[in-house]
Structure 1
Amino acid sequence: MRAAAVSRSIEITDADFLKFRDFFYRKTGIHFDDSKRYFVDKRLIERIEATGADDFRSWFIALRFESKGEELQQLVNAMTVNETYFFREAYQFDCMVNDMLNEVARRKKPGGRIRIWSIPSSTGEEPYSIAIYLLERWKLIEDYEVEILSSDIDTQVLQMAQRGVYSSRSVAQLPKPYLEKYFRRLNDNEFAISRDLVDAVEFSRVNLTDANDTRRFRDIDLVFCRNLLIYFDDLSRRVAAEAFYDAMSPGGFICLGHSESMSRITSLFEVRRFRDAMVYQKPLQGERR
C-alpha cells in the first residue's frame, strides 16, 4: 500500500523527461522519443522508489554524480528491452552455415581461428543458437577454432544468459532432437541448457557507443547485431557501424535485423545477397571508403 502511495506522489514532468532522455542518450546512444514516454516514466518512478529518493530532482542529481556508476547500470538494466527466443530469424543462421562461414574459412589456414560476435546478447538465446547451428549444421566445425563472443549493456540479462535456464516459450522453435540433446528439463516450463554450451560462449558487458568498450574487439569474422540499432538515432548508428568496421576482419560479415539497413547508415559496408539472406560485408581490402 505504501509503495502505491509513493508512486502517486512522484511526478515526471516534461522537463524531467527531456533531461533524462538527453542524459541517457549521452551515456548509451539509445534515444527515447515521445511515444516511449509512458514506458520511461514508469521505469524512472520504479528507480526513484528503489533508491528511496524523494523526487526526480534529488534522484537525478545523485545519478549524475555517483562515482561507481551502480545506479546508472541499474537504470540501463531497467530501460533496455530484452525479448528473444532460440532460432529467431533462423534464415540468417542458415546463411551463416551455408555460405558466410564457408567464405570466411577459405581465407583461413586449416586450424585457424574464426571469431563470431553476438550483440546484444540479451538472455543468451542468440549466441547459444549460433553454437547449436555450428555443431549441428556446419560441416567444417572440426577444422577450425571457433570463438563465440556475446555482449550486452544490461548486466542482469548477462547473468541470466550465463545461468542458462529458459522457458518453454523460449525453446518453442527448437527442433525436438536439439532440445533433447542440449537441454535438461527442470519442470513443466523450464529447461537448462548444457553447461558445455555455456562454457563455449564468452560473455561481456559492452556499451556499443563507448570506444573504451569496443576497442578490445578485433579480428571479428561474423557479427550478429539484430534489432538493436532501431533504438539508436542516426549519429549513434554511425558510431556503432564504425565500431563494427574497426572490429571486423577484412571480408567479415554483419547481420542486422530484418527492418534494419546498413546502407542507410554508412557506405563502409557492401551488400551481399546469398540464397538465404541479404547481409553486409566489410570490403576485403580493409580500407575505409
Structure 2
Amino acid sequence: MASVNPTEPLVASDIRITDPEFRRFCDFFYRRTGIVFGDTQRVYVDRRLADCIVAAGSRGFAEHFARLLVEPREMERLISLFTVNETYFYREEYQLRCLTSTLLDGIVARKRIGQPVRLWSMPCSTGEEPYSIAIWLLENWAEVDRWDIEIIGSDIDTKVLEAAEAGEYSERALMRLPRPLVDKYFTRIGDKRYRIDEGLRGSVQFSRVNVIDQAEMARWRGIDVVFCRNMLIYFDEVSRRTAAGNLYDSLAPGGYICLGHTESMSRISPLFEVRRFPDAIVYQKPEEGGHA
C-alpha cells in the first residue's frame, strides 16, 4: 500500500493490492462463492477491493482480509460489490411461455389438489425475475387459482434481496413489460420510479442462499422449476458441477431447470435429461424410477 498519513481517511487510490494479496483474495472469494477471477480481471478486482476496503474503514488489505474472516457483514458487503445484478422484467420471456404452455401441465398432472407448485428463481437479484413469474402466471395460466403456488427468490447478495423485498424499480427495469401490465401491477412513486403491487410483494418468499454450499442448499427440496440464468458462467468447472448437483437434489422428481440462452447443462452434468420444447430447451430431473 502507498504511504499515507494514518490520521487521514483513505481513498481508493491510496490502496495498492500486491500480487500475493490478489491471489489470496481470489482463492478466498472462489472458496466462498464459486466465482472465479483471473489475471485478465485484475484491474476490476483491484478497484472493487479498494472500494470495499475504504468503505469498511480498514487501513489496507491485511486488516480488511482479517475482518472478512470474522465479520459476516463485511463479507456481505464484498459479495454485493463483486456480483453482477443487471436484470429487468420479462427477461428471456420465451422461458415463461414454456412454463405455462408446457412445463406446468406435466407438473400438476403429478400432484393432488392442495399440493404446492414450487418455483425458484436463483439468483433472483433485485426481484425482477420472481415477480415476472408471478405476473406471467396471473396473466397467462388459466389454472393459477386452482393451485397453491410458491415462488421463491434467492441470491447470495443480501443487499439485492433487501431491494427485492422493497419492490421499487426504475422505468428501465420495466422496459419489456407491456404498458397495461405496468399500470395494473405497479404504482408510480416518483420521477421514473415504480413500486410493485403489495399483493405481489407478498407472493414471493426471498431467502439468501449460496448455491455451492451443500448445507444451505439441503434446506430446499421438492422444487418443481428452477430458473437459474446466467450464473454458472461465472463459475469454474468444479463449482459448476457442485452447483448442478445441489440444484438436482433440490428438484422434485420430474422437475425442471431453466438456464440462460448461452448455457448448456449437458456440458456440466450428466444428471439431467435434455428436453426440447417449442418455446425453450430445458433440463429435467428424471422422474422416480427413471434415469439420466
Regions of 4+ moved over 6 Å: none
- Provide the residue aligned with 2:142 in structure 1: 139
State the SS of the aligned residue for 2:88: coil
| Structure 1 position 283 matched with structure 2 position 291 | no
Greater shift, 182-191 or 120-129, is seen at: 182-191
> What is the CA–CA distance in structure 2 between the aligned matches of 1:217 and 1:63, rounded to whole Å?
27
User: Does the CA-based 8 Å contact 1:123-1:158 persist in structure 2?
Assistant: yes
Q: What is the deviation of 1:74?
A: 1.1
When normalised by structure 1's length, the TM-score is 0.95
Deviations 1:20-45 (A, max 9, x none): 00000011111112232222111110
> What is the CA–CA distance in structure 1 between the aligned matches of 2:65 and 2:268, rounded to whole Å?
33
> What is the CA–CA distance in structure 1 between the aligned matches of 2:290 and 2:67, rounded to whole Å?
44
- Provide the residue aligned with 1:88 in structure 2: 91
- Provide the residue aligned with 1:46 in structure 2: 51
State the SS of the aligned residue for 1:196: helix
- Provide the residue aligned with 1:58 in structure 2: 63
| Structure 1 position 27 matched with structure 2 position 12 | no
User: Does the CA-based 8 Å contact 1:124-1:162 persist in structure 2?
Assistant: yes
State the SS of the aligned residue for 1:170: helix
Q: What is the deviation of 1:288?
A: 6.7
> What is the CA–CA distance in structure 1 between the aligned matches of 2:134 and 2:63, rounded to whole Å?
46
- Provide the residue aligned with 2:5 in structure 1: none
Q: Of 7, 10, 13, which residue of structure 1 is paired with 2:15?
A: 10
State the SS of the aligned residue for 2:172: coil
Q: What is the deviation of 1:188?
A: 3.0
- Provide the residue aligned with 1:257 in structure 2: 260
> What is the CA–CA distance in structure 1 between the aligned matches of 2:93 and 2:205, rounded to whole Å?
22
Q: Of 172, 183, 188, which residue of structure 2 is paired with 1:169?
A: 172
- Provide the residue aligned with 2:232 in structure 1: 229
1:200-215 aligned at under 5 Å gives the runs: 200-215=203-218
- How many residues were matched structurally? 285
Q: Of 71, 78, 95, which residue of structure 2 is paired with 1:75?
A: 78
Q: What is the deviation of 1:287?
A: 6.4
Residues 183, 152 of structure 1: CA spacing in aligned structure 2 closer, same or farther, 3 A cutoff? Answer: same
Greater shift, 145-154 or 277-286, is seen at: 277-286
> What is the CA–CA distance in structure 2 between the aligned matches of 1:25 and 1:140, rounded to whole Å?
43
Identity level (%): 51
When normalised by structure 2's length, the TM-score is 0.94
User: Does the CA-based 8 Å contact 1:250-1:286 persist in structure 2?
Assistant: no
Deviations 1:71-94 (A, max 9, x none): 111111111110000000100000
Q: What is the deviation of 1:241?
A: 0.6
Q: Of 244, 249, 252, which residue of structure 2 is paired with 1:246?
A: 249
User: Does the CA-based 8 Å contact 1:115-1:147 persist in structure 2?
Assistant: yes
> What is the CA–CA distance in structure 1 between the aligned matches of 2:291 and 2:209, rounded to whole Å?
24
- Provide the residue aligned with 1:179 in structure 2: 182
State the SS of the aligned residue for 1:260: coil
User: Does the CA-based 8 Å contact 1:251-1:286 persist in structure 2?
Assistant: no
State the SS of the aligned residue for 1:268: coil
- Provide the residue aligned with 1:102 in structure 2: 105
User: CA-atom RMSD, angstroms?
Assistant: 1.4
Matching residue's letter, 2:26: R
> What is the CA–CA distance in structure 1 between the aligned matches of 2:39 and 2:290, rounded to whole Å?
39
Give unmatched runs, 5+ long, in structure 1.
none
User: Does the CA-based 8 Å contact 2:12-2:47 persist in structure 1?
Assistant: no
